Each structure stands twice: as structure tokens, then as C-alpha cells.
Amino acid sequence: MLELSIAILAGGKGSRIGTEKAFLRVNGVPLIKLIYDRLSPLSDDIMVIIGNKSAEEFKNLLPASAKIFNDFYYTMSPVGGFITAALSATKPYFAAVAVDMPLINPKIIEKLYFMARGHSAAIPVLKDGTLEVLCAVYSSEAIKKQKADSVRSLKELAKRLPDPLFIDVDSLRDIDSKLESFFNVNTKEDFSALLEKLKRL
């Protein structure tokens, strides 16, 4: 096992898709369990961060060993969830993965972990310059030092870190040639596209 905790961020409202994304089912399996199972070989410390939602529904879908946390701080962005993850992690680094990234390749997270060691983070950068902050690895200590009420967004938080590595997403194509790990399910159309992608796998 890596010296890595994993935080699955599931606190979002799912306003664009109109439902709880974590509970959308693919071949009968909810997205939250699909992602949990994909990442579980990497770590014995997997956290599910759920904002201010009720934990009971999540508990019913996940193994008993799953650690489910409400945000310690409530903000208008996932920043509170990030700091909750850092404070709750048992390892020096944690991977942050969005609950709507069901095609995540665990080897991407593993590669980012080895890149992040000795730095405050390893964060992929998409072709348009967007920081993929919800598929990245962070130093738990570096995130703990951030104040939830002073940061408006995760991208702002990432830019405040002392020595993050920003990784050209193309350097990850040796693992994921089509970069499908970064596919997000934000709308009903995205979910339909996901089902089509899975048919081809």
C-alpha cells in the first residue's frame, strides 16, 4: 500500500444533473461504490467526504470499513471538504477524487502520488489551462494550513500552496491514452455518454 489516503468528494448538490450523482447506478452499481472499489487497492484509508448530507445512505452502499465524514467547515465550494480530508487523513498525502469521475484509472493516482512526494501537491493541468484539482494528490500538512473561510475555490487554494507541481495532462497518456480518467458526469447527457463508453470497455 502507498503512504496515501484517498478522499472521494461527494458533497456537491448535483444541481445540473438534478439528482444525487453518488447514487446513480451503472449496471446496478452506484457511482460511489464504483469509484470506491476502483481506488481501494491503493489505500487502506479511504474517506468519503459528503458535505452536510446524511451519512446513512452512503453507509448502506459501501463496505463497513469506509470512513464517511461530513465537512468540518461549511463553505460554498469543496474547500471545506478538502480541509476535512486533510485533517482526517492518516497518511502524509491524500488523493482527492470527485465522485463524478467513474472512469478514474488508479494508476493515474499512483503516478501523481510519486510525483507529489516532497511537494505540496501534484495537480494535472488540462490543455485549456484548467487545474484538475479533483483528480490530484496533496500533502495533508499543506492543506491543513489553509483556512476554509479565506479561500473561495479549490483552484485558488491550489495556487496558494507553497510548491505544487502542475502536471501537463499529456504526460499521463502513457497510463490513460484517451484521458478518460478526467471524464466528469455533470449532466444527464454525460451520464448517457458514460454508459456508452462502458459498453465499449
Note the Cα 4 to chain centre separation in Å: 13
Quick check: helix, strand or coil at residue 185?
Answer: coil
pTM: 0.92
Report the domain count for the chain: 1
What angle (nearest 5°) sits at the alpha carbon of residue 35, between those of residues 34 and 41? 105
Q: Which helix (H) or strand (E) holds 109?
A: helix 106-116
pLDDT at 201 over 80: no
Phi/psi class of residue 51: alpha, beta or left (left: φ > 0; alpha: ψ in -120 to 50)? left
pLDDT at 18 over 70: no
pLDDT at 15 over 80: no
Tell me the residue range of the domain where 48 lies. Answer: 4-200
Single-letter amino acid code for the residue at 142: A
Each residue's pLDDT tens digit, 128-184: 999 999 999 999 999 998 877 777 888 899 989 999 999 999 999 999 999 999 998
Residue 175, domain CATH: 3.90.550.10
Query: Angle 31-39/106-116 helices, nearest 10 degrees?
Result: 50
